[in-house]
Amino acid sequence: MISHMPPGLIMILAAFLLPVIPHVWRQIYMLGAIALSAYGLFLGAGTHLVWTVLGLDLILYQADALSLPFAIIFHLAAVLNVIYSWHDRDWQQHCASLSYAGAAIAALHAGDLVSLFVWWEATAVTSVFLILASGTERARKAAMRYLLFQVTSGVLLLAGAAILASTSGDIRFTKMDLGDAATWLIFIAFGIKAAFPFLNGWLQDAYPEATPTGTVALSAFTTKLAIYALARGFPGTDILIWIGAAMTALPVFFAVIENDLRRVLAFSLNNQLGFMVVAVGIGTELALNGAVAHAFVHIIYKALLFMSMGAVLHQVGTIKASELGGLYKKMPFTMVCCIIGAMSISAFPLFSGFVAKSLTMSALGDAGIVWAYFVLLFASAGVLEHSGIKIPYFAFFAHDSKIETGEAPIGMRVAMGIAAFLCVGIGVFPSLLYSILPYAVDYHPYDAGHVTSQMQLLIFAMLAFVVLVRLKLYPPEIPSVVLNSDWFYRRLAPMVGLPLLRMVMLVWSGLLHQMRGLVDAIWDMLDRIMHSPLAGPTVSGRAVLIQAGLLALLLLIAYAAAG
């Protein structure tokens, strides 16, 4: 019975009982729910649950070679979240986190666009509580903006699905060709969640406002669900190469000057999504393997980086680079984990990023898309700059901030340890990862030429950093806000919109005033008629006069009808 339920659904149902389960047991209970959900994956590939509603076949549980690697890593991320938040007694956050992961997993197994929409929205309404849980006014506002974007994405997806249902009657979630309104709506819906350029503001706006544990959960699911959706719906769509390349390159510059280290990681997350989007755009088997492999390892090392920064935030109370530094002695374990995450994301050989990113880069080379290849190579140096160097450097080294603190709670450290172990394990034994990719892999990342190329890029970029620091040319961290695409709706729209709105309101109130005058004039006229009729008795009230008028009108109509 349980094995035929869509994976993830059991986690959502389990979340309802969390408030009544005491702390610690709650964590064990959540691990049990995740294990039960994962057990459902053993049903293997195929369509396992279809529900016919209003003449539509809703495919609630469908699995294949594309959904499996995402399902595995989503379950793993959910487990890491539970362990990382072991110390946390706030059941609301656990509820949100477990049901959010469950919704994302269920979405992976939706075989039609309407089911996908349901889970797509469910990820939005569950995850928003992870931002709200911060309890600050800033977080509340960011959460509302986040929800607005997420729900818009869902509405666009539903609109696209509705058009498809009415035109072709086929709502199965399969490969689509970008062309008509329906596919464009769905494409933009995916694009919002995948944080396409100019649709990305919500990501850097909201993720860093969530709780230390909440951001870790957020970093795993929403955007990677979008990558999965793009890989299923739009593989080989050329425009994705352009969009993805822009996504890899642009956030790099913002990340250099951002002061909030979790926001730096949010920019970095955006950049990493770019690599995956490019890979989906290429669309070859090697490239799609690259997109999936990248999403898989990215969830682990990005979670590790967010976990290490979350640990710092939990212990120190701030994550601003300008206030941190020198924590390597106070939090050595966190520092080592952070550096492992940093080396993984930078794609050092023997770390997980290398074995995944190599697939995409090779696919780009094979496809002969040279310009994109060099943009991604450039972005690789950018990744090293902000995630490889800036994050560990400003948190743990740079200068002595004289902050007295210690290591994070044991649960946080265990989760970081597991993630770090996986980063190295996958890097050393890539065949483990390659064996679960959608297409058969005959790829060997560790050839001498490839390794030396990558090492040259990274080591000499690091030397550039050393030169800049030694010459005091590296920009110091400044307490500040970096404007991003959210500026358009947080500042520009009110700047343009508010005067416009005021003008409309002015015209409206003028119109109302005029109409009120008109009404008064009509009443005055009625009163005059009542008090000084041309003939007959004085009418006792306005209502009587109106009734008399209406009766006269009826009489006229009756005469006209009879005539």
Partner 1 sequence: MSTPSSKSPSDLQRLGGIFTKVLLGIAIILFGLEFFIHRHGVVSAEESFMFPALYGFLAFLFIVQVGKWLRLMIMRKEDYYD
With respect to partner 1, which residue has the nearer C-beta, 51 or 374? Answer: 374
Distance CA 437, CA 18 (A): 34
With respect to partner 1, which residue has the nearer C-beta, 47 or 322? Answer: 322
Shortest CB 408 distance to partner 1, Å? 18
Distance CA 382, CA 310 (A): 23
Shortest CB 480 distance to partner 1, Å? 5
With respect to partner 1, which residue has the nearer C-beta, 306 or 474? Answer: 474
Shortest CB 166 distance to partner 1, Å? 42
With respect to partner 1, which residue has the nearer C-beta, 399 or 542? Answer: 399
Cβ–Cβ under 8 Å, residues 291 and 279? yes
Shortest CB 257 distance to partner 1, Å? 5
With respect to partner 1, which residue has the nearer C-beta, 370 or 518? Answer: 370
Shortest CB 249 distance to partner 1, Å? 9
Place of tokens 């902050």: 403
Shortest CB 498 distance to partner 1, Å? 15
Shortest CB 553 distance to partner 1, Å? 60
Name the burial class of residue 13, with classes exposed (0-12), middle (13-18) and buried (19+) by CB atoms within 10 angstroms of its CB. Answer: middle
Distance CA 193, CA 197 (A): 11
Shortest CB 131 distance to partner 1, Å? 15
For residue 538, give the amino acid letter: T
Can you list the alpha helix ranges (DSSP code H) found in 368-447?
A: 370-383, 391-396, 410-428, 430-434
Name the burial class of residue 44, with classes exposed (0-12), middle (13-18) and buried (19+) by CB atoms within 10 angstroms of its CB. Answer: exposed
Query: Could you give the 3-state DSSP secondary structure of residue 346?
Result: coil
Residues that bind partner 1 (CB under 8 A): 138, 252-254, 256-257, 326, 328-329, 364-365, 368, 370, 373, 377-378, 381-382, 384-385, 397-400, 402, 404, 448-450, 452-466, 468-470, 473-475, 478-484, 490-491
Cβ–Cβ under 8 Å, residues 216 and 81? yes
Structure tokens at 402: 């004289």
E strand residue ranges, 54-162? 56-63
Shortest CB 207 distance to partner 1, Å? 16
Structure tokens at 462: 């690091």
Shortest CB 141 distance to partner 1, Å? 8
Can you list the alpha helix ranges (DSSP code H) found in 283-409?
A: 285-316, 332-345, 352-367, 370-383, 391-396
Q: How many CA atoms lie within 13 A of 129 on its CB side?
A: 16
With respect to partner 1, which residue has the nearer C-beta, 253 or 439? Answer: 253
Cβ–Cβ under 8 Å, residues 44 and 121? no
With respect to partner 1, which residue has the nearer C-beta, 167 or 453? Answer: 453
Structure tokens at 27: 């964590």
Taken as a whole, the chain contains a residue count of 563
Distance CA 249, CA 266 (A): 14
With respect to partner 1, which residue has the nearer C-beta, 99 or 484? Answer: 484
Query: Could you give the 3-state DSSP secondary structure of residue 88?
Result: coil
With respect to partner 1, which residue has the nearer C-beta, 87 or 490? Answer: 490
With respect to partner 1, which residue has the nearer C-beta, 44 or 475? Answer: 475
With respect to partner 1, which residue has the nearer C-beta, 4 or 491? Answer: 491
Cβ–Cβ under 8 Å, residues 422 and 352? yes
Cβ–Cβ under 8 Å, residues 158 and 120? no
For residue 389, what is the DSSP state? I
Shortest CB 442 distance to partner 1, Å? 16
Structure tokens at 216: 């870790």
